[in-house]
């Protein structure tokens, strides 16, 4: 077997992520997508790129400054990675500009217009002017920059105008100034009749009124990105909530890592910004389309133009959760699995709400990683605590970009009398588990919910995830031990049936891959996840492939494994599915294990397997296990939403022959759920566990 440590066997993590975001951008030019659906993917692409720069690029810049030689198995230096990233984004910029312009042009025929102020006719300009003086002028912040007026602090991802001024009484006097545009203002201003104008073009038109007595020589819109990572010395913290709040305040003052600016802006203005922002020219991107396209959501969500979006699917409540009755009695009889967002998230909410109200429930424990701003689940926990039940909530305050929201909920839970844990020093708690302890016939019974996704009713409508409800005795002791590890001091590092990281999940995965490898040509692995980065797992998969194990990987985002390499990965295939729903579930199948199917909160990345508390749950129920295998096979055969990773690191969209049946896995699942729902509303007996492949015969 060849050396599996060779750098050429591994794809760089950051470049793989950029390719994922490119696949998102490609959805904005997919002919079958409605126009606002295309615009939605541009908004997602832009939001993704913002976070990538705030965290990943910022981190590489710090590593480069610290002279760290290499960061991954591919052995690229931070300097090489930064250069490759700059080149990649610069090249892709033209695709973004072209796609955006094409969509905006086609939207005009639907009477939806996105314009600059100068594109308006006189009547519309008058309406825009009125809007400016009524709603914008009072809150605009003009800022002089000179010896007595320092360059102002700029918020991360904030939009501003830089202005070059000339005294209209003395043409020899030139000054520089800025106009800060508050975030509370809409990026795209709706002036009625389906007409939106860019806010910065409206502000620029009235710059003379903002700086009276000066002529505007030049003006340019710009947007800054700061390093948004938070480093917290947890071991030194007496009050973790206080130190996190301090970290959030520091985030607003992180170093500038990117400058976005209008194309062909005045050179003196650009030099002015470079001087004060202290930013490298490689991190400056000029665009001839509006900046901050992540703000397109206020156009996309306009209900008057909902027909320009992809058809909305109504998530369904299926048997046994579609009828009145105790959810605990249902779980006494059977395990239940639901597939989000095709099935409703309501049973998850009902599980906690029922526990909060049930007088027989003594205790509720759960982990909260990313919850909604108006979470009915957290409110139910508060109600339960107020009702005198024992409530324990592990609120992960280090969930990136959800820290402030989680702080609010943690305080509210504490005030209700719940026992709140903020995290584990040195680790994040990313496991998704809820435990309800209920007294029944003078005995305590434990009911559990596990998930591959968050307890968030908003993302549950757009992320594909698996929810699993059970009262199986196999998980009783493990669930108790898991929460004891989180809340107390424990040297117990292993569970029996559940597998937990950072102590045993990686070892278990490696053992299962090895067992498939020992079976050689009869070995079979199918794994679906968001990202595959861990080098030890990749090497194990390479070894299994060399022994004849057939391996299919469905990886939406980052994949550092190279398929199709002779002597390493000839039996490995990797595909990525990009559709209207975000593929988020982690599901694994190992043919020679008993049981062989698993769901998990963890991707196969070092951070998940070594630096987070995660859970991997075996599915003992044969019908549910079979359904999971059907789901994996459906996605393997998807030929409408799929991209295949090539051995040269590129992704190729899978194009089916005219004679090949179309398989869009997300549309299939919508139809599958609808068929069961309609059959049951007509009192036709179709078991909810009916196999996917039977539904579509």
User: What are 451-491's pLDDT values in tens digits?
Assistant: 999 999 999 999 999 999 999 999 999 999 999 999 987 77
Sheet containing strand 113-115, edge to edge, reads 113-115, 195-198, 188-190
**Domain contains 670:** no
Asked, for residue 682, whether it belongs to a domain, the answer is no
Per the structure, the count of domains in the chain is: 4
Which CATH number fits the domain that encloses residue 19? 1.20.58.310
Q: Is 373 exposed, middle or buried (0-12, 13-18, 19+ CB in 10 A)?
A: exposed
Question: Is 430 a residue of the active site?
Answer: yes
- Residue 98 domain-assigned? yes
DSSP label at residue 290: -
- Do residues 291 and 159 lie in contact, with contact meaning Cβ atoms separated by under 8 Å? yes
Domain coverage including residue 35:
1-110
Pairwise CA distance, residues 1 & 173, whole Å: 74
Specify whether 199 is located in the same domain as 340: no
Residue 494 lies in a domain: no
Q: Does the structure show a pLDDT above 50 at 433?
A: yes
CATH classification of the domain holding 591:
3.30.870.10
Residue 425 predicted with pLDDT over 90: no
Same domain? For 340 and 458 the reply is yes
10 Å Cβ neighbour count for 664?
A: 18
644, 504: one domain: yes
* 103 and 125 in a common domain: no
At residue 238, does pLDDT exceed 50?
no
Q: Fill in the DSSP letter of residue 72.
A: S
Find the radius of gyration of the CA atoms of the chain. Answer: 27
Among 64-68, 139-143, 433-437, 671-675, name the one with the lowest average pLDDT. Answer: 64-68
Are 465 and 584 a contacting pair, CB within 8 Å?
yes
pLDDT at 650 > cutoff 50: yes
Shared-domain flag, residues 146 and 94: no
Residues, the chain, total? 697
Mean pLDDT score across all residues of the chain: 91
Query: Quick one: three-class SS letters along 178-203?
Result: EEECCCCCCCEEECCCCEEEEHHHHH
549, 571 contact by CB (below 8 A): yes
Binning pLDDT at 50, 70 and 90, where does residue 697 land? Answer: very low
Q: How far is 446 from 670, CA to CA, in rounded Å?
A: 32
- Point out the catalytic residue in the list 149, 307, 419, 430: 430
Q: Enumerate long-range contacts of 308-313, CB under 8 Å, 24 or more apart.
A: 308/34, 308/35, 308/36, 308/37, 308/107, 308/110, 308/112, 309/34, 309/36, 309/37, 309/40, 310/33, 310/34, 310/37, 310/580, 313/341, 313/342, 313/670
| CA-wise closest residue to 597 among 335, 327, 333 | 335
pLDDT digits (tens, 9 = 90+) for 60-88: 998 888 888 877 899 999 999 999 999 99
Residues 6+ positions from 538 with CB-CB distance below 8 Å:
10, 73, 532, 560, 561
């Amino acid at each position: 077997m060849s050396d599996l440590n060779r750098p050429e066997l591994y794809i760089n993590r950051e470049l793989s992520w950029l390719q994922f975001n490119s696949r998102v951008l490609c959805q904005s030019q997919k002919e079958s997508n409605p126009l606002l659906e295309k615009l939605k993917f541009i908004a997602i692409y832009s939001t993704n790129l913002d976070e990538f720069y705030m965290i990943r690029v910022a981190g590489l810049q710090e590593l480069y400054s610290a002279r760290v030689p290499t960061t991954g198995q591919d052995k690229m230096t931070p300097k090489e990675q930064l250069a490759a990233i700059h080149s990649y984004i610069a090249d892709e910029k033209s695709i973004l500009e072209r796609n955006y312009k094409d969509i905006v042009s086609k939207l005009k025929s639907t009477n939806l217009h996105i314009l600059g102020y100068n594109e308006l006719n006189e009547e519309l300009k008058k309406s825009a002017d009125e809007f400016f003086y009524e709603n914008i002028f009072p809150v605009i912040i003009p800022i002089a920059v000179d010896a007595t007026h320092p360059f102002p602090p700029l918020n991360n991802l904030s939009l501003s105008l830089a202005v070059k001024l000339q005294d209209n009484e003395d043409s020899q006097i030139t000054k520089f100034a800025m106009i800060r545009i508050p975030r509370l203002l809409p990026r795209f201003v709706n002036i009625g009749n389906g007409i939106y104008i860019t806010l910065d073009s409206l502000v620029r038109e009235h710059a003379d009124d903002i700086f009276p007595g000066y002529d505007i020589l030049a003006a340019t819109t710009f947007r800054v990105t700061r390093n948004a990572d938070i480093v917290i010395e947890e071991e030194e913290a007496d009050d973790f909530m206080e130190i996190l709040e301090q970290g959030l305040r520091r985030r607003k003052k992180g170093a500038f890592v990117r400058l976005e600016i209008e194309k062909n802006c005045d050179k003196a203005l650009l030099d002015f910004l470079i001087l004060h922002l202290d930013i490298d020219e490689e991190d400056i991107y000029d665009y001839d389309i509006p900046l901050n396209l992540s703000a397109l959501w206020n156009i996309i969500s306009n209900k008057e133009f909902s027909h320009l979006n992809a058809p909305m699917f109504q998530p369904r409540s299926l048997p046994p959760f579609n009828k009145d009755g105790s959810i605990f009695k249902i779980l006494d009889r059977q395990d239940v699995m639901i597939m989000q967002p095709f099935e409703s998230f309501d049973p998850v909410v009902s599980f906690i709400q029922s526990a909060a109200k049930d007088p027989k429930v003594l205790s509720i424990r759960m982990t909260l990683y990313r919850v909604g701003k108006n979470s009915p689940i957290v409110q139910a926990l508060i109600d339960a605590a107020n009702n005198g039940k024992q409530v324990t909530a592990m609120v992960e305050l280090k969930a990136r970009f959800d820290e402030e929201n989680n702080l609010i909920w943690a305080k509210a839970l504490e005030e209700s009398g719940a026992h709140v844990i903020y995290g584990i020093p040195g680790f994040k708690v990313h496991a998704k588990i809820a435990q309800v302890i209920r007294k029944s016939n003078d005995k305590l019974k434990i009911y559990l919910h596990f998930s591959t996704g968050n307890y968030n009713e908003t993302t549950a409508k757009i992320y594909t995830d698996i929810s699993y409800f059970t009262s199986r005795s196999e998980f009783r002791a493990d669930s108790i031990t898991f929460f004891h590890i989180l809340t107390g001091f424990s040297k117990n590092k292993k569970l029996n049936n559940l597998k937990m990281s950072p102590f045993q999940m990686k070892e278990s995965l490696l053992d299962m891959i090895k067992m498939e490898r020992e079976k050689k040509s009869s070995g079979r692995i199918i794994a679906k996840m968001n990202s595959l980065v861990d080098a030890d797992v990749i090497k194990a998969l390479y070894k299994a492939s060399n022994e004849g194990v057939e391996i299919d990987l469905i990886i939406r985002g980052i994949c550092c494994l190279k398929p199709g390499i002779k002597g390493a990965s000839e039996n490995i295939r990797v595909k990525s599915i990009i559709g209207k729903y975000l593929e988020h579930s982690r599901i694994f199948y190992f043919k020679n294990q008993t049981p062989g199917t698993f769901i998990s909160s963890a991707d196969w990345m070092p951070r998940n397997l070594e630096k987070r508390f995660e859970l991997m749950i075996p599915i003992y129920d044969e019908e549910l296990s079979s359904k999971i295998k059907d789901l994996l096979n459906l996605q393997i055969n998807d030929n409408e939403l799929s991209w295949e990773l090539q051995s040269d690191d590129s992704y190729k969209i899978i194009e089916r022959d005219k004679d090949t049946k179309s398989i869009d896995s997300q549309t299939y699942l919508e139809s599958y759920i609808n068929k069961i729902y309609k059959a049951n509303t007509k009192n036709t007996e179709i078991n909810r566990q009916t196999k996917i492949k039977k539904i579509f015969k």
